[in-house]
Structure 1
Amino acid sequence: MEKTLYIKYGSRVTSGMAECLYDRLLEDPELAPFFDGVDIDRLREHVADFLSMLTGGPNLYRGRNLREAHADFNISRDHFEKVMGHIARAATELAIEADDITTIATAIRTYEDDVVSG
């Protein structure tokens, strides 16, 4: 039985990724404005729960569906790609193996059309 990424990495792949990712996003001059007025701690929790589900852990995500949550932000494909780059760099910083980063990125990309609206 192959262990899940959730078991392999533990909180590093959930709360660790969410923490590192939002630190990066908030420092990015193009992406930071998307988070003005947003409760970042709550958002980090939602993303950690989402990553738990994506990596084979428990499905703890109780936020709005992704299409509804992102509908008003006019997120472009370029924005999405920039976030994906930050995800890859955050995962690398957390010593997640390259093949596993690809697996996580592939899973996240299945939601691209729910996030991109502009």
Structure 2
Amino acid sequence: MSLYEAIGGAAAIDAAVDRFYDKVLRDPLLAPFFASMDMHSQRRKQKAFFGTLFRGQTEGVQSYMRSAHKRLVDEGRIGDAHFDAVARHLQSTLQDLTVPADLIVQIMGAAAGLRNAVLGR
């Protein structure tokens, strides 16, 4: 069974992404990054990204994350504190939705593996 199936498929991802962005948009460290962004589009893209990732389709993910955040890295606007805040909100969201602990560990491990790509290292 894929992680996608284990967490409950599209409905679970939809709920997680919506709750996650509710938290992110209330975070004074992260909210400014999204102030002028079309959040409907952003949520849709994030749901598709998680769906792909949780199905185990990871080819190109590092490259995608590097290019998606490149401008922020080049401008010196994103760092470890931002990545850590996003990770905390993701973990908190998964816990709120009572995702089993072993799946949270798996998801957070995958997220941690993206740190260097997101931060342009």
Structure 2 length as normaliser, TM-score? 0.82
- What 5-or-longer segments of structure 2 have no aligned partner? none
1:49-70: CA deviations, max 9, x gaps?
Answer: 11112212678xxxx9221211
Identity %: 29
Cα distance change, pair 12–91 in 1 and its aligned pair in 2 (3 A): farther
In structure 1, the residue matched to 2:82 is 79
CA deviation vs aligned residue, 1:13-39 (integer Å, no higher than 9, x gap): 422211111000000111100111111
For CA contacts below 8 A with separation 6 or more, give which structure has more relative contact order: 2
Letter of the 1:4 partner, please give it.
Answer: S
Q: Cα deviations across residues 57-103 of structure 1 (Å, max 9, x unaligned)? A: 678xxxx9221211122211111011100000001111111110110
Q: How many residues align?
A: 112
CA distance in 2, matches of 1:58, 1:114: 17
**Please, which moves more after superposition, 47-56 or 77-86?**
47-56
Q: List gaps (5 residues or longer) in structure 1.
A: none
**Whole-Å separation in 1 of the counterparts to 2:57 and 2:80:** 29
The yes-or-no answer on 1:109 pairing with 2:112 is: yes
Deviation at 1:5, TM superposition (A): 2.0
Q: How much has 1:117 moved relative to structure 2?
A: 4.5
Is contact 1:13–1:51 with CA below 8 Å preserved after alignment?
Answer: no
Q: Counterparts of 1:13 and 1:7 in 2: how far apart (Å)?
A: 9
Matches within 5 A, 1:53-72: 53-56=52-55, 65-72=64-71
Q: Is the Cα–Cα contact under 8 Å of residues 54 and 107 in structure 1 kept in the other structure? A: no
TM-score (norm 1): 0.84
Bigger proportion of residues as helix: 2
The equivalent residue for 1:89 is 92
- Asked if the contact 1:6/1:55 (under 8 Å) is kept, the reply is yes
Compare 89-98 and 3-12 and name the one that shifted more. Answer: 3-12
